[in-house]
Amino acid sequence: MSRICQITGKKVMVGNNVSHAKNRTKRKFYPNLQTKKFYIPEEDKWITLKVSANAIRTINKNGISAVLADAKANGNTLI
């Protein structure tokens, strides 16, 4: 499975390692992804999502149902 957050859509970014002598080599910046289970009381079931730490904070603030509805409204097909 790819390294993409299922809520925010964050994914791997590409950049450079820059040495003291300004030599540049390619590197990747990975999102802080966690595999986490969430309980949806409306559907009385558990779902497992691969989410970033930022998405976990958003879910804690707004609730899983609101976040899932917003992700589907924005066209997120990863869920």
Q: Cα 49–66–40 angle (5° rounding)?
A: 55
> For residue 31, what pLDDT is reported?
97
> For residue 42, what pLDDT is reported?
92
**Number of neighbouring beta carbons within 10 Å of residue 4:** 16
Helix axes 64-73 and 53-62, enclosed angle (nearest 10): 110
pTM of the model: 0.84
Which phi and psi angles does 70 have, rounded to 5°?
Answer: -70, -40
Kindly state the average pLDDT of the residues 32-54.
96
With a cut of 70, say whether residue 24 has pLDDT above it.
yes
Assign domain 13-73 to its CATH architecture: Roll (2.30)
| pLDDT tier, 77 (very low <50, low <70, confident <90, very high otherwise) | low
